[in-house]
């Protein structure tokens, strides 16, 4: 069997474009899907897929690790976020092909499933862009959290902190305290609440000020409390607060995760399988995390193929904890899938039994939502003095 071509299919999802990667073979009808979505880098990633295809076409798709090494090493320059995202989409598609060719789900190729279902969490109102709620309106925000839980989720991730800087103004801290307490009172103790700081605080002490007022509601974790890449700062912060920390969506390499593990800097790691080298990269990161008694929670606010990949990975990964999803990101999320993998039962996804990733894309339906310039939410990330903030 040989790879004959690699194609990209771009589907608009309002504030990002999903980039689907289709790897074709010389076996009639046998192809694989991957996802290489990278926010606001659509054309660059699509071009990188084309660049990497020269290393892949003509290869046997069963030789997944060989092809990954070829893309990495023959590229000479470190691939970075754009190149690794392109590689990840191709790598995922190879697993899909192999599973289909052998007639088994991908989780079977990863050693078999280690759980019977996969717990998931979503964003406020499933991240629907037409129903954004300002966190400054505590009552409306709590209403939205309650509505999200009533959709069938037992865990919700929320943005609670404002754009910040090196300090944490007391009025902002007090508002976050009131908001956090109101949310916990509204949903009770049976719902897990997690919050994503998006690296907004510029200092450990600013992050600590916000975490200290959130910690009493016992969040499952605080994500990216400071900018990614500062493992020493995260380790320092983790010793200062009474709250689990998590990071990883903007980390790409095993070396970065090895540093987190060495310092025991966080409780949970969150690699994105569309950026960190696909399933192969995710498995390496999971092993590093497991050696340091860290759980793994794959990052995934993206499209249906990314969701299918994460589901297969979660089924076979012992230190997996919970999976991020965003099925409400665009109204046509389910429209372009020929398989329904994402039905909720008690806040969990079921383990798929179909060969490969268990998902097919309806290309005709997808073509109704072509590339379009994204709505970029970061454009209002301005501090009171006019300085650009981390968003």
pLDDT digits (tens, 9 = 90+) for 281-303: 999 999 999 999 999 999 999 99
Helices (H), 63-113: 64-74, 80-102, 106-109
pLDDT digits (tens, 9 = 90+) for 210-231: 999 999 999 999 999 999 999 9
Cα–Cα dist 375/246, whole Å:
27
Specify the pLDDT at position 378.
77
Residues 60 and 136 in one domain: no
Cβ distance 12 to 40 under 8 Å?
no
Position 369 in a domain: no
Select from 47, 42, 49 the least CA-distant residue to 11: 42
- Evaluate if residue 133 carries a pLDDT over 90: no
Residues 99 and 119 in one domain: no
Which residue, 46, 78, 103, sits at the end of a domain?
Answer: 103
Specify the pLDDT at position 129.
73
Which entry of 31, 123, 175, 198 is annotated as an active-site residue? 198
What CATH number did the domain enclosing 14 receive?
3.30.390.10
User: Phi and psi dihedrals of 386, rounded to 5?
Assistant: 95, -5
Which entry of 135, 175, 299, 369 is annotated as an active-site residue? 299
Residues 140 and 272 in one domain: yes
Residues 72 and 202 in one domain: no
Burial track 74-111 (b if 16+ CB lie within 10 A, e otherwise): ebeeebebbbbbbbbbbbbbbbbbbbbbeebbbbbbbe
| DSSP labels, 198-220 | TT--SSHHHHHHHHHHHGGG--S
Residues 241 and 265 in one domain: yes
Residues 230 and 314 in one domain: yes
Is 198 a residue of the active site?
A: yes
Position 375 in a domain: no
CA 161 from centre of chain: 20
pLDDT confidence bin for 31, thresholds 50/70/90:
very high
- Evaluate if residue 79 carries a pLDDT over 80: yes
Cα–Cα dist 143/236, whole Å:
36
Cβ distance 233 to 247 under 8 Å?
no
Specify the pLDDT at position 376.
83
Q: Which domain holds residue 165?
A: 108-356
Specify the pLDDT at position 379.
81
Dihedral Cα 276, 279, 280, 283, nearest 10 deg: 90
Residues 63 and 159 in one domain: no
Specify the pLDDT at position 126.
87
Cα–Cα dist 91/68, whole Å:
7
Residues 195 and 165 in one domain: yes
Position 374 in a domain: no
Position 228 in a domain: yes
**Contacts of residue 383, Cβ cutoff 8 Å, sequence gap at least 6:** 163, 165, 389
CA 257 from centre of chain: 16
Position 376 in a domain: no
Looking up tokens 């129903």 gives: 131
> Residue 384 in 3-state DSSP?
coil
CB atoms inside a 10 Å sphere around CB 126:
18
């Amino acid at each position: 069997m040989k790879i004959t071509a690699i194609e990209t299919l771009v589907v608009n999802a309002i504030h990002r474009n999903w980039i689907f990667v289709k790897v074709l073979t010389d076996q009639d009808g046998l192809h694989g899907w991957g996802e290489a979505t990278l926010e606001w880098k659509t054309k660059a990633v699509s071009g990188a897929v084309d660049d990497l295809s020269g290393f892949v076409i003509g290869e046997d798709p069963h030789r997944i690790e060989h092809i990954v090494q070829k893309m990495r090493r023959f590229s000479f320059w470190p691939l970075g976020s754009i190149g690794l995202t392109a590689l990840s989409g191709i790598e995922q598609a190879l697993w899909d092909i192999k599973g289909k060719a052998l007639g088994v789900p991908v989780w079977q190729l990863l050693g078999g499933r280690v759980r019977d279902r996969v717990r998931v969490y979503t964003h406020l109102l499933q991240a629907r862009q037409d129903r954004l709620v300002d966190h400054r309106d505590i009552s409306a925000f709590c209403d939205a959290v309650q509505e999200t839980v009533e959709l069938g989720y037992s865990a919700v991730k929320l943005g609670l902190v404002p754009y910040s800087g090196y300090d944490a103004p007391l009025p902002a801290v007090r508002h976050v305290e009131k908001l956090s307490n109101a949310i916990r009172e509204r949903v009770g103790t049976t719902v897990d609440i997690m919050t994503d700081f998006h690296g907004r605080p510029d200092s450990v002490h600013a992050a600590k000020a916000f975490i200290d007022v959130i910690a009493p509601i016992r969040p499952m974790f605080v994500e990216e409390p400071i900018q990614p890449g500062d493992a020493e700062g995260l380790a320092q912060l983790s010793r200062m607060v009474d709250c689990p920390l998590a990071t990883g969506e903007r980390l790409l390499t095993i070396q970065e995760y090895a540093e987190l593990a060495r310092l025991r800097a966080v409780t949970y790691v969150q690699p994105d399988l569309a950026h960190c080298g696909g399933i192969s990269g995710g498995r390496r990161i999971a092993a590093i995390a497991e050696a340091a008694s860290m759980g793994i929670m794959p990052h995934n606010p993206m499209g249906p193929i990314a969701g299918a990949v994460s589901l297969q990975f979660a089924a076979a990964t012992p230190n997996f904890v919970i999976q991020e999803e965003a099925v409400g990101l665009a109204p046509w999320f389910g429209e372009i899938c020929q398989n329904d993998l994402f039905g909720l039962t008690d806040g969990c996804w079921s383990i798929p039994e179909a060969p490969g990733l268990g998902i097919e894309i309806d290309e005709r339906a997808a073509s109704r939502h072509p590339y379009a310039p994204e709505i970029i939410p970061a454009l209002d990330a301005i501090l009171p003095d006019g300085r650009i903030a981390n968003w």
